[in-house]
Structure formats: structure tokens, C-alpha cells
Chains A and B, each alone.
Chain A
Amino acid sequence: GCGGCGGSASKPVVVDGSSTVYPISLAAQEAYTNSVEGTPRIIVDYHGTGGGFGRYAEGEVDIVDASRPAKPEEEEKARASGFEWTRYVVAHDGITVAVNPENAFVDALTVGQLRSLFEPGSAVDSWDDLDPSWPDEPISLYTPDDDSGTYEFFVKDALGMDGQREDVQPSADDNVLVSGIAGDAGAIGYFGFAYYAANRDKLRAVPIKADADAEPVSPSVETIYDGSYAPLSRPLFIYVKDAAMGRPEVADFVAYYLENVADLAEEAGYVSPTEDERAENLDGLSRAKGGTPAPAAAE
């Protein structure tokens, strides 16, 4: 509730949700601010995908950053509170499994190894438990907050597990994970590609083998774009409240966001959406604006 906000100025555009998508929205916030006259009033926060949807349902948020599609119950809740939304794909991400650069022995991990490492109650606590040829040194795990979008996708969709072991260092803030892994020789963890891309010098991405015989694939713009970085690739979204599109400041910002989404995604270290997805975005945008074709569509 922001009943008394109107006092000094109009209501700002509030973006909240996934920490994975946060860098893209941050880039959009900055680029848009620089591209227009005056200072548009945009706020970008992150509280995880679930947190974003939760706050959306409370009416606190205009645009939700989401690193996974909304769950049926989230859809339900949003609809129940009368806040219809439109979904846009803003980037592709490959969840990157990273280790400390001092760790040279882990040349690749299979999905099976990942599963045995992260499964609930896993007994793996040193590297030789994963592969006997690796040294007997302790492992420490850094993972996103338990029901963040990244966690959800990695654990449930990619590895097909119900949950994850508990003796990990969890954080809703991926930067914390990066710092943790960069500072800990025995560390392994996972997070969005952008955080790896921004910290290539401090981390080493582990190539992933879909199964024991497959070729190891490293996360990169190409492998994510062409889908070969599987099963850890996924699309990233923003969910925009339809009612908020009636406010010109929101509509303008979303339009700018989607028109420049390719650049923004890359600037943030992700892979841009495909041509088709971008076209679909602009369609959705003009629908949400009430049938008027978006100006960019004409170009």
C-alpha cells in the first residue's frame, strides 16, 4: 500500500523479482534513463522470482523479473488479486556450474554427478566421492536461495529432483555466491550465466555432459543460443502488469526495454532472445497497449 505516495510526485515504476534477470533490468533502467529527458522514476529491486511474484500479488510491483515461468498457483494468485499480466522473453540463460579457478582437476561433470552432488541427503563431501581420480579434498557448496527461480529450474527442471541437500551456503544474492566461490578453493556452485560472464577471471565454468558418453559442453553465448548447452539452458522473462501499461511511464519503459532487449541482454552478460521471440514480444506489447501497434514495430 502506497496510499499517500502521490504527495510529491507520481508513482514510480517498480521492478522486482529474480536476481538472475536483475542485471538486464538494471541495464534497461540505466539505458532508458540516459535516453530520455529528465529523470524517469524507476526502481529496480531483487527478492528472487518467487518474492517478485509475491510482491506483485500484493500490488507493490509493476514488472516482475522471473527466471522461470510463473507457477499455476502464482498465476492464480495474481488473477485473484485482479492483476493480469503479459509475459515477455528478455534473454536466454545457461545456468553455469562454477568452481574456483585453483581447482584444475574438474574437467567436466555429468548430469548424474551433479545429481549425486546436490541431491537431498547427499553423502558427497569431498571431490573423490564424485570421481575417485580427483583429490580427497572437501567440497563446499554455494547455491541460490532454495526457492529462487534459478534453484527451482536447476533442481527440479534440469536435474529432476524434488529438493536439494541442506549443507550449502544459500543466498538470494548471486553476487554473494560468486564472491564465495571466488574466495574458496574447494567451492562449487551454480548461478545465472551473466554472473559468470562478469567474473570469468575469478571463476571457472565446468563443462557439462548431458550423460556419461556425451561431449562436454561449456556455457557460452553460442551454446546457449543454439540450445546445445543442455539441460541447463532456459529462457528469462519479465511479467508486466497490464493495468500498469495505462501509465505512460510504465508503457514507455517497457517499450524501450523490449525494443532494445537484444543489446540489454548482451550488456548484462546473457544471450539475446531469438528473432521469433523478439517479434512475439512486440506483438504482446501492442496488445497490452490496447491494440495500438508499438512505434518500433513500424521500423
Chain B
Amino acid sequence: MTQLPQTTPVSPKLPPRRSWAGRSWFQGVQEVAVPPLIFLCACVTVLTTLGIIAVLGVETVRFFRASGVGLVEFLAGPSLNPKADPPRYGILPLFWGTFVIAFGSSLIALPVGLLSAIFLSEYAPRGLRSVLKPTLELLAGIPTIVYGYLALLLVTPVLKAVLEPAIRVEFYNALSGCVVVGIMIIPMVSSLSEDVLSAVPRGLREAAYGLGATKFEVATRVVLPAGLSGVIASFILAISRAVGETMAVLLAVGVKPQITLNPLRSMETMTAYIVNVMKGEAAVGSAEHLSLYAVGMALFVITLVMNIISGIILKHFREEYD
């Protein structure tokens, strides 16, 4: 389709067509130039991924060289202190902090998000839904720094007021991080699940109603199971967002790498560690500075795996009804 004949073949039966000039050179240039150009655009996205992998990979190798830390020690070491002598680079405390935030925020976001999704898809009249859904989505559009600010300003003081003096609440604590991150990811669950539940074919609902089912039974025993894989995919996406969340946890949870079961104490997530090292004073090229890339690599791999899993689940769901 790139090379265009400039003249149109003329049928013997029709009068010659003096009025048709064929396409202009300008058109020809576009025809030739556009496909490679937009192909390059598509390549940018691939280059981005390659770039991320290359940057993280190279610097991670440099980190392991510079620090002399082994992979097992890095991944499973229970203590993180680059300034100790000798420095210790076990990122288990970071995994733990990240896990606590992801788990705690899921406890809030998954049930609330799922119930909201069911309400929006099964109960809410159309008008209400068209107002509520974007309103909930606003929660996801608020910059994460605002959530961090609110954790400091609102959530932690409330926790203190309620729990203290009976239980000590540290100023930076995991629970307030869980609360704000949980709120932040509610719309991921509610919006995506709502899409999935609404996509459950109407025929299934009608079949159930036709058998004398109540709305509750239709929603929980027919629609939800039918959309379950999609709902689970939305859960995973939301959790992966919680894992990657940075500013809110940096402000709310603090930067204290420790493994503790007490959610009222400070912890450190992988993301917060990265920013903290960056903002801190480790010299560029030092093992401590390079450790941020290694942690970044771990973070990237974790979220990538979660995204891939949810992608696979979602794809299966789509195929079921196509």
C-alpha cells in the first residue's frame, strides 16, 4: 500500500477522466512516512521496558560487586544497615514493611471495593451509578503526596487519640499507611470489578431471575462467581499498586527497617528506602547508593509478576464470554 500508481487506469467504455489528478506528492509523503513513524512510537514503549531492565540490571550487578553481598544474603538477610561496620544489606525488613502495607491496605480496600462494585453494578440505578463511579475514581486521582500529608495530619492523630495511652502509637506507623493506601486503592477494586461484573452477560442474570432468585442471590451466587476471575485480577492490580506506592508510605510509615508484628510501629517499605537513599547522602557510586537499584530491581520484579498474573487472569475472563 506504500507505492501508489499516479494514474488511474481508464476503462474503454467510459469517457477519459481529465479531472482526476491522482494523489498529491504531499499525500505520497504521508503514506510513506507515517507507518515507520508510528512504529517508532510503539518502539518507545518497548525501549522503556528494556531501559528499565538494563538500568536496574547493570546497577544491581554493580551493587553486588561493590558491596560483596550475596544474592541470598541480600534477599533473605534479616537486617538492613548500610552504615554499620560491616554494612548489612538484608532487605527482608523492606519486604516485610511492603508486605504489611499491601496486606493491611488490602484488608480495607478489597472488601469495601468489592461491595461498592456489587452495589454499583447490581443495585445502583443508572443515574446514581454515573455519579458515584467517577466520584470514587476521584479517590484514585488524588496525588499520593496528599494521602501522605493526611496520614500525618489526620489518621495518626486519630489513632493516637483513640488508642493512647493504652497502646503506644509511634508517630510514623504502619497502620496509618495501611489506612491511607487502602483508601487510595479502593477505586481500583471498585472500578475494575464493576466493569467486570457489568460485563457478565445479562442472559445469566435473567436466567437466575427467571428461576425465582432474589437480587441478593443473583448478585452473590451468579454474577460474582461468573466474574470472579476478573475480580481477583482487580485485587491483584490493586495490591500491586499498594506495593509500588511511595510518597504516602514515606510520609506515613517512616524509614525504619524493622520486622515487627506491631502495626503501630514504624517500618520501611522498598519504595521509601529508594527515596530515602536518594535524598540521603550516600555518595554516587557507593555501595549504599547502588543498593537503591537492587531494591528497585526487586520491586520491579514483584510488581511485574503481579501484573502478569492479573493480566493472565483477566484474559481468561474475557475469553469466557467472547
Contact = CB atoms under 8 A, between A and B. Distances in A.
Q: Do chains A and B touch in the complex (CB under 8 A)?
A: yes
B84 A51 contact: no
A107 to B, nearest CB: 22
B280 A169 contact: no
A51 B81 contact: no
B84 A166 contact: yes
Interface stretch (B40-48, B53-61, B166-174): B166-174
Main secondary structure, interface of B, reads loop
A138 interface: yes
A187 B160 CA distance: 15
A183 B171 CA distance: 5
Contacts of B281: 47-52, 54, 145, 147-148, 172
Contact of B279 (A146, A162, A173, A187): A173
Given A51-B280, A145-B281, A163 B171 contact: no
Given A51-B281, A145-B281, A148-B281, A163 B83 contact: yes
Interface in A36-62: 47-52, 54-55, 58
Interface string A162-175: 11001111111100
Contacts of B160: 183
B284 A58 contact: yes
Q: How large is the interface on A (under 10, 10 to 19, 20 to 34, 35 or more residues)?
A: 35 or more
B133 interface: no
Select the residue from B82, B84, B171 with max chain A CB neighbours within 10 A: B171
B276 A51 contact: no
Contacts of B79: 166
B40 to A, nearest CB: 23
Contacts of A171: 255, 276
A185 B279 CA distance: 27
A179 interface: yes
A47 B280 contact: yes
Interface in A57-78: 58
A213 B283 CA distance: 42
A140 B279 CA distance: 23
Contacts of B282: 50-51, 54
A177 to B, nearest CB: 10
A180 B171 contact: yes
Contacts of A55: 284
A186 interface: yes
Nearest to A60: B284
Given A169-B256, A185-B168, A54 B280 contact: no
Interface in B165-197: 165, 168, 170-172
B252 to A, nearest CB: 12
A48 B280 contact: yes
Contacts of A187: 171
A148 B156 CA distance: 28
B322 interface: no
A184 interface: yes
Contacts of B258: 167
Contacts of A54: 281-284
Contacts of B168: 138, 185-186
Given A145-B280, A179-B152, A169 B83 contact: no
A148 B83 CA distance: 11
Interface in A144-158: 145-148
B72 to A, nearest CB: 21
Contacts of A179: 152, 171
A173 B278 CA distance: 12
A194 B284 CA distance: 29
A169 B81 CA distance: 12
Interface string B303-315: 0000000000000
B190 to A, nearest CB: 33
A169 B280 CA distance: 14
B84 A169 contact: no
A148 B282 CA distance: 10
Contacts of B276: 171-172
8 contacts: A50-B282, A50-B283, A52-B281, A146-B82, A147-B83, A171-B255, A172-B276, A187-B171
Interface of B: 79, 81-85, 152, 156, 160, 164-165, 168, 170-172, 254-256, 258, 266, 276, 279-284
A-B residue pairs, 8 tightest by C-beta: A51-B281, A48-B281, A183-B171, A146-B83, A54-B283, A50-B281, A172-B280, A184-B171
Interface of A: 47-52, 54-55, 58, 138, 140, 145-148, 162-163, 166-173, 176, 179-187
